[in-house]
Amino acid sequence: MIELPEAHTLATQLGEAFIGKTIVSAAANTSPHGFAWYSGDPELYNEKLAGKKVSATAAYGGRPEMLADGMIISFFDGVRSRYLGKDEKRPVKHQLLIEFEDGSALCCTVQMYGGMMAFPDEPRDDFYYNVGREKLSPYTEAFDMVYFDGLFDGIKKSLSVKALLATEQRIPGLGNGVLQDILFNAKIHPKRKAESLSENERELLYKATVSTLKDMREAGGRDTEKDLFGESGGYNTILSSKTLANPCPVCGGSIKKEAFLGGSVYFCPTCQVL
């Protein structure tokens, strides 16, 4: 799934690959997928995008996007975006294929579910898109300890640390995937009640959030995800499905996996005491 570090990596790569290029065609929903989402009728994507020139790219929360002559093309969740060169064979099945004047292309496929939106660059009634633009990103200096501390204001006593960080769009783009290493680095169990954290633990969690996400971004995303060129990210996850069989890198104990809040959590019961 695209989360904060992957969104920024993809935005950078999309810029390097397509800024200055003009779209000659766009084919959406050629291979229908029950959980592929579009803005309006996907059959109108060619009409919306053909002839538009890409001028900028950006990332907001977990959404990389391209700006093309007043149109925004935005991707999120389980969309796999892939650059294709002039002579590369186009896949038979895809959920969005954008062809450019120089013969290169952007091919998007959906894994479990995901969105490929194309809409005018103007105010929009879309909560998830707007909150990603409006809330502070951990990649900005304004995302400081005071701001982070404010996330705890008014929370329910039953709220877990996982729920605090990875739900309700408190930190757009921070999902269950990047959460695992953040909590491991902070030595906090995902099921801990957020209200139970001491002032020192809150500070440790803040520092782990900022530093872990920074490391992931600088490495080009996590090794569990692919970039625009089909390469795995360079950040080696500490806790993920890839490392479950490995011992804890700190204490040597066994890593545990449990279902929690609609997804799996990974943790070391010795280093992350509940």
Q: Within its chain, how far is the Cα of 184 from the centroid?
A: 19
Q: In the prediction, which pLDDT does 40 show?
A: 94
Q: In the prediction, which pLDDT does 166 show?
A: 96
| Angle between helices 199-218 and 4-18 in degrees, nearest 10 | 30
Structure tokens at 91: 């896949």
Angstrom distance (rounded) from CA 113 to CA 39: 15
Contact 18, 66 (CB under 8 A): yes
E strands, 5-70, in order: 23-28, 36-37, 54-60, 63-68
Contact 266, 180 (CB under 8 A): yes
Angstrom distance (rounded) from CA 163 to CA 154: 14
Q: In the prediction, which pLDDT does 117 show?
A: 97
Contact 23, 67 (CB under 8 A): no
Residue 55 reports pLDDT greater than 90: yes
Angstrom distance (rounded) from CA 143 to CA 45: 36
DSSP per residue, 116-150: EEEEESS----HHHHHHHHSPPTTSTTS-HHHHHH
Angstrom distance (rounded) from CA 264 to CA 240: 9
- The DSSP 8-state label assigned to residue 233 in this structure reads P
Distances 103 to 19, 151, 156, 269 between C-alpha atoms, Å: 14, 47, 54, 52
SS3 99: strand
SS3 87: coil
Angstrom distance (rounded) from CA 54 to CA 68: 4
Write phi, then psi, for 160 (nearest 5 degrees): -85, 165
What rounded mean pLDDT belongs to the chain?
97
Write phi, then psi, for 86 (nearest 5 degrees): -55, -40
Residue 96 reports pLDDT greater than 90: yes
Residue 111 reports pLDDT greater than 90: no
Distances 114 to 62, 76, 96, 110, 209 between C-alpha atoms, Å: 11, 6, 11, 6, 25
Q: In the prediction, which pLDDT does 206 show?
A: 98
Write phi, then psi, for 9 (nearest 5 degrees): -65, -45
Residue 211 reports pLDDT greater than 90: yes
Condensed to tens digits (0 to 9), the pLDDT of residues 244-256 reads 999 999 999 999 9
Structure tokens at 162: 């996982």
Q: In the prediction, which pLDDT does 153 show?
A: 95
Q: In the prediction, which pLDDT does 57 show?
A: 98
Q: Mean of the pLDDT values across residues 231-253?
A: 97
Confidence of residue 140 (pLDDT cuts 50, 70, 90): very high
Structure tokens at 117: 């939106």
Angstrom distance (rounded) from CA 216 to CA 218: 6
Condensed to tens digits (0 to 9), the pLDDT of residues 68-85 reads 999 999 999 999 999 999
